[in-house]
Amino acid sequence: MDFNFTKEDEAFRAEVRAFIEEKYPDSLKGKVRRDELEREDFLAWHKVLAEKGWVAPSWPEEWGGTDWSVTQRYIWNEENARADTVPLLPFGLSMVGPVIYTFGNEEQKKHYLPRIYNGEDWWCQGYSEPGSGSDLASLRTKAVREGDHYIVNGMKTWTTLAQYADWIFCLVRTDSDAKAQEGISFLLIDMNTPGIEVKPIITLDGSHEVNEVFLTDVKVPVENLIGEENKGWTYAKFLLGHERSGIAGVARSKRNIDRLKEIARSELVDGEQLIRQADFEGKLAQLEIDLTALEFTELRTLASESAGKGPGPESSILKIKGTEIQQRITELTLEAVGYQGMPYQRDLGDNVRPIGPEYAEMSAPTYFNTRKTSIYGGSNEIQRNIIAKMVLGL
Ligand SMILES: Cc1cc2nc3c(=O)[nH]c(=O)nc-3n(C[C@H](O)[C@H](O)[C@H](O)COP(=O)(O)OP(=O)(O)OC[C@H]3O[C@@H](n4cnc5c(N)ncnc54)[C@H](O)[C@@H]3O)c2cc1C
């Protein structure tokens, strides 16, 4: 196993870095708060990359993929994290896109894929329901076939950024008599169809990131069914595999640790820099050691992917460790800023300066928001079950 980058890889890195420096939209520079971003902000970088041909590296070349090696994709992620670019939304590019080009028919591919690629359609994910999160196969939203339409009734929840979405991909029950997994279908639904209502859920940090989506007698043309009726569970699981890849977030965690170190250099305890305090220094060192271990685990996965072996259930390890580290960074950041992280400083208005240094301003909301990472994408407890069963054979 060779962990060193080749000359070609380093040349690729230089090309990517120069491109980001030149083309990253000015309108996004300095916008580090996700809740400050409007719909057009999320799409601005997407559209620049679509024009360059770099927005969907892992797609088949026929639909715009770049045929980059896994190392090049790794470098791509690293350079984006380094430049702190707004992450691309996964719902079209890495979730429903791969489902459509793998299981969709020709018409569906021709219609939806270019629109996802160019950022014309915003997608959201309609999987979870109240009572059907970890136990997804128990979902109850029902689709009943009536002539050339399905009539859909039910409710989805935790639907990320549905307030901006043009389309939702939904798991629906089409056969209530079959075994849970065998009565589910995968439907594409236009969010402008009558009968769809989106209600915001405001999270602990005060932001509007997730929603409830109610579907009442929503009429969906049968041509919006992906693959075969009642085979949706197969497509759903395929999509979850894509959702988990890249979830370790090593590159962005590295950048966030650098930011934490800067804070710990600025903060003083009894006249001494916090970063020099043995207790804090020890926690920071442990965090970096764990992140380095995770990085090598990820590189090992990439090396075996390059050798033609899929990541397999081991990707659950990346999800667990990656998200635990993301949470620990926010915990240490909150510890570093101390009482300056206490006031709730959102929406102060234009004329009011936040209390404390700028870096303390978002530490509490970010800490609260990051609690989500061990829940979404399949909770960490569920990932442990997967490791126990599939990796350890318990
Ligand atoms: C911020 C955020 C964004 C999200 N975005 C979306 C989205 O866009 N679309 C979408 O469809 N969903 C989304 N989700 C939903 C997410 O997939 C679910 O929250 C997740 O699958 C957990 O399901 P649940 O919330 O119903 O919790 P539950 O399944 O009720 O679990 C509750 C607790 O019990 C534990 N648990 C459950 N079963 C087991 C078991 N068998 N063994 C051990 N422990 C277990 C869980 O780990 C968890 O700690 C989002 C969630 C969050 C927090």
User: In the chain, what are the domains?
Assistant: 7-88 (no CATH), 123-231 (2.40.110.10), 245-391 (1.20.140.10)
Answer with the residue of higher pLDDT: 242 or 377: 377
Q: Is 173 helix (H, G, I), strand (E, B) or coil?
A: strand
Active site (annotated) includes residue 223: no
Residue of the CA atom closest to atom 18 of ligand 1? 133
Position in ligand 1 atom list of the atom nearest CA 209 = 1
Flag whether pLDDT at 144 surpasses 70: yes
How many Å lie between the centroid of ligand 1 and the Cα of residue 202?
17
H or E stretch including 273?
strand 272-273
Position in ligand 1 atom list of the atom nearest CA 136 = 21
Flag whether pLDDT at 1 surpasses 60: no
Residue type, 370: T
How many Å lie between the centroid of ligand 1 and the Cα of residue 308?
32
Pocket of ligand 1 (CB under 6 A): 124-128, 133-134, 158-160, 210, 372, 375-376, 378-379, 381-382, 385
pLDDT of the residue at 367: 93
How many Å lie between the centroid of ligand 1 and the Cα of residue 134?
5
Point out the least confidently predicted range of 39-48, 138-147, 276-285, 306-315.
Answer: 306-315
User: For residue 133, how far is the Cα from the chain centroid?
Assistant: 17
Question: Could you tell me the pLDDT band of residue 151, with boundaries at 50, 70 and 90?
Answer: very high
CA distance 56 to 340: 41
What residues contact 229, with CB distance under 8 A and at least 6 apart?
Answer: 145, 174, 185
How many Å lie between the centroid of ligand 1 and the Cα of residue 278?
37
pLDDT of the residue at 32: 63
Question: Could you tell me the pLDDT band of residue 348, with boundaries at 50, 70 and 90?
Answer: low
CA distance 257 to 251: 10
pLDDT digits (tens, 9 = 90+) for 314-342: 788 999 999 999 999 999 999 999 988 87
pLDDT of the residue at 325: 98
pLDDT of the residue at 30: 74
Of the residues 35, 132, 134, which should be mutated to test ligand 1's pocket, given the most ligand atoms within 8 Å of the CB? Answer: 134
Mean pLDDT within 117-145 = 97
pTM of the model: 0.93
pLDDT digits (tens, 9 = 90+) for 183-217: 999 999 999 999 999 999 999 888 899 999 999 99
- Marked catalytic residue, from 78, 209, 229, 243: 243
pLDDT of the residue at 361: 84
pLDDT digits (tens, 9 = 90+) for 258-282: 999 999 999 999 999 999 999 999 9
Point out the least confidently predicted range of 50-54, 246-250, 330-334.
Answer: 246-250
pLDDT of the residue at 300: 83
Mean pLDDT within 294-304 = 83
